[in-house]
Amino acid sequence: MLIPETLRYSEDHEWVLVEDGIATIGITDHAQEELGDIVFVELPAVGAELAKSATFGVVESVKAVSDVYAPLGGIVTAVNEALTTKPETINEDPYGAGWMVKVTLANRADADALMTAEQYRGFLAQEKP
Amino acid sequence: MSETNASAAALARTPLYERHHALGARMVEFGGWEMPVSYRGILEEHRTVRTAAGLFDVSHMGEIELLGPHAAAACQRLTTNDVRRLANGHVQYTILCREDGGVVDDVTLYRVDDQRWFFCVNAGNVAKDLAWIRQHAGAATVVDRSPATALIALQGPAAAGILGALTPLVLERIPSFRFARGEVAGLPVLVSRTGYTGEDGFELYVDAPRAGALWDALMAAGAPAGLEPIGLGARDTLRLEAALPLYGHELDEQTSPLAAGLERWVRLDGEDFIGRAALRHERERGAPRHLVGLALRAPGIARQGHPVTFEGASVGIVTSGTLSPTLGSPVALAYVSAALAAPGTKLAVDVRGRPVPAEVVATPFYRRPRPVAAAPAEVPSEVAEPVEDAVDASDDAAPADGEGLYEIDTAPEATGADEPPAGVADAPSPADDDAENADGTQVTREGEH
């Protein structure tokens, strides 16, 4: 179970990397493992405005459909178009080539409010039955 | 991310539960059972069954026996197909219908002999089916063998080779939809050439306490051929590619077998059965909706419950859908208005508010390469669940004579799944265990039993 120290995490199992006022967002290793083989990804358009905690995309595995929630608000500046043809990239490299969107960070405090790697590890441990 | 996980509280477990756990299976609730949904990933497991072989624990399915001189008549009354077509050692796909034609369950019916029959029924329907069968069995004796019986499916192009190395049974003499009793890895097993994947394969009925030993023997023997354990996730994608119905999706009590395209297994002009009058009436009127295959022509996955539309208007509903691992494109089964059911019809599926173009296509979506000697056409069959049994089967005791599901060792030659075998009569079978079937076929190798 990979949980990179450099990222922040949401309770909905998204990760966020903040660099130069841009937040890159994806789903965690735990999330992709829970979903299984991912076969379809629906992403917003560039220019769309993400509202914190609102659905911004969909990830579908063979058996399940999962909404993806915005861990923070902002304007979409880039989407990972490669996922349209190779959705399995999320399974293979959730923190790298499997990134989903980049957004301009509307409020830095949103990012600071997210869990650290250590907190996310603790969160997963208490989530398990 | 949001997901819902079914609570595993108070779920039944099959005799193979510990093995699934040891194999690292992801377990889910299915029909009241805690079952493996996948071990290594659904897509990989799916491909394993299409190219090599897979082993499935389907012990959650039920086995309900009908016994005695009135058993054949009870089976005829309960089911849409014609039981007179069955000789000893034959299996038949058939349907239990309500008076109004709605489907109680789709099942397979096994004729052990003229006074001994059993149904293999869907896991989630065991209690309902048992009550229904008891209600309509007349003077026949009904016994629930589910708790005592485990069921392991071995499916895929390598299945026959794997099983053949473990049994004296001559598998070439057990064609599709035939069964025989014999030993597999030294264990008494009922071997049925049936399945739910679209591949060649077998379903092996065994006393629950012996399920682990049988599973281990099959896994060991099959390893060189690439045999892997397969979960319910791939079972679902495999059956969907083969366009085999799943109860609760394509079939339910509000759906008639005619709408589901199962006319071939409904003998409206034969013996009477429960639901025949309603289904005859429906045949005259024409079913208002038909089950069709859909190929989606743009990215998106149709799921159960998604509306099917034509020129913006709702004309049907999806019952099952996935990305076909073999085709690499999304497919679905759906009920649509009869007028729009012809292959080539351009429709759309409303995938969470987004219309995705779809086309009605012929089914199955996948058909396995056939050997030179064509097997009879595959018929749907599915779902089972296991149980605790009234028969005390200790770990090493063979089933007592007349107990369990293993009292047959002959299988007639195939006559085609849809052609009545010649000379099937309800003549009493010889009472001893060495009975030959009507044409004297022996299915064990010379000198072996």
Contact B333, B294 (CB under 8 A): yes
Q: Do B8 and A84 touch (CB under 8 A)?
A: no
Beta carbons within 8 Å of B317's beta carbon, 6+ residues apart: B305, B306, B307, B308, B334, B335
pLDDT digits (tens, 9 = 90+) for B151-204: 999 999 999 999 999 999 999 999 999 999 999 999 999 999 999 999 999 999
What would the mean pLDDT of B204-215 be, rounded to a whole number?
Answer: 98
Query: How close, in Å, is residue A67 to chain B by CA atoms?
Result: 5
pLDDT digits (tens, 9 = 90+) for B262-312: 999 999 999 999 999 999 999 999 999 999 999 999 999 999 999 999 999
Beta carbons within 8 Å of B397's beta carbon, 6+ residues apart: none
Tokens of A8: 């922040």
The pLDDT, as a whole number, for residue A63 is 86
Share of chain B above pLDDT 90, in %: 79
Of B1, B26, B38, nearest to A13 by CB-CB distance is B1
Whether B5 has a pLDDT exceeding 50, the answer reads: no
Q: Do B1 and A27 touch (CB under 8 A)?
A: yes
Residue B405 pLDDT class (50, 70, 90 cuts)? low
Question: By the CB < 8 Å criterion, does B237 face chain A?
Answer: yes
The pLDDT, as a whole number, for residue A127 is 81
The pLDDT, as a whole number, for residue B382 is 38
Whether A121 has a pLDDT exceeding 90, the answer reads: yes
Question: By the CB < 8 Å criterion, does B299 face chain A?
Answer: yes
Question: Dihedrals φ, ψ of B196, to 5°?
Answer: -145, 35
pLDDT digits (tens, 9 = 90+) for B89-100: 999 999 999 999
The pLDDT, as a whole number, for residue B142 is 98
Query: How close, in Å, is residue A14 to chain B by CA atoms?
Result: 7
Whether B445 has a pLDDT exceeding 60, the answer reads: no
List the 305-334 stretch of B: residues with Cβ below 8 A of A: 322-323, 325, 330
Contact A123, A10 (CB under 8 A): no
Tokens of B17: 């539960």
Counting one residue from A and one from B, how many pairs have CB atoms under 8 Å apart? Answer: 57
Query: How close, in Å, is residue B43 to chain A by CA atoms?
Result: 7
Whether B441 has a pLDDT exceeding 80, the answer reads: no
**Residue type, position A103, single letter:** V
The pLDDT, as a whole number, for residue B438 is 34
The pLDDT, as a whole number, for residue A107 is 86
Chain B CA closest to residue A57: B1
Q: Tell me the C-alpha distance between B202 and B385, whole Å.
A: 17
Question: By the CB < 8 Å criterion, does B42 face chain A?
Answer: yes
Question: By the CB < 8 Å criterion, does B8 face chain A?
Answer: yes
What would the mean pLDDT of B111-138 be, rounded to a whole number?
Answer: 97
pLDDT digits (tens, 9 = 90+) for B371-382: 654 444 444 433
Whether B145 has a pLDDT exceeding 90, the answer reads: yes
Chain B residues within 8 A of A28 when measuring between CB atoms? 1
pLDDT digits (tens, 9 = 90+) for B212-264: 999 999 999 999 999 999 999 999 999 999 999 999 999 999 999 999 999 99
Q: Do A40 and B352 touch (CB under 8 A)?
A: no
The pLDDT, as a whole number, for residue B392 is 25
Q: Do A64 and B3 touch (CB under 8 A)?
A: yes
pLDDT digits (tens, 9 = 90+) for A55-113: 999 999 998 899 999 999 999 999 999 999 999 999 999 999 999 999 998 888 999 99
**CA angle in degrees (0–180, nearest 5) for A127-A59-A38:** 95
Q: Do B1 and A129 touch (CB under 8 A)?
A: no
The average confidence (pLDDT) of chain B is: 85
Q: Tell me the C-alpha distance between B329 and B427, whole Å.
A: 51
Q: B127-136, B323-332, B398-407: which range is least confident on average?
A: B398-407
Query: How close, in Å, is residue A40 to chain B by CA atoms?
Result: 7
Chain A residues with CB under 8 Å of a chain B CB are: 12-14, 27-28, 31, 34-37, 39-40, 58-69, 84, 129
Beta carbons within 8 Å of B264's beta carbon, 6+ residues apart: B379, B418
Q: Do A31 and B1 touch (CB under 8 A)?
A: yes
The pLDDT, as a whole number, for residue B365 is 97
Query: How close, in Å, is residue A38 to chain B by CA atoms?
Result: 10
Chain B CA closest to residue A68: B1
Residue B400 pLDDT class (50, 70, 90 cuts)? very low
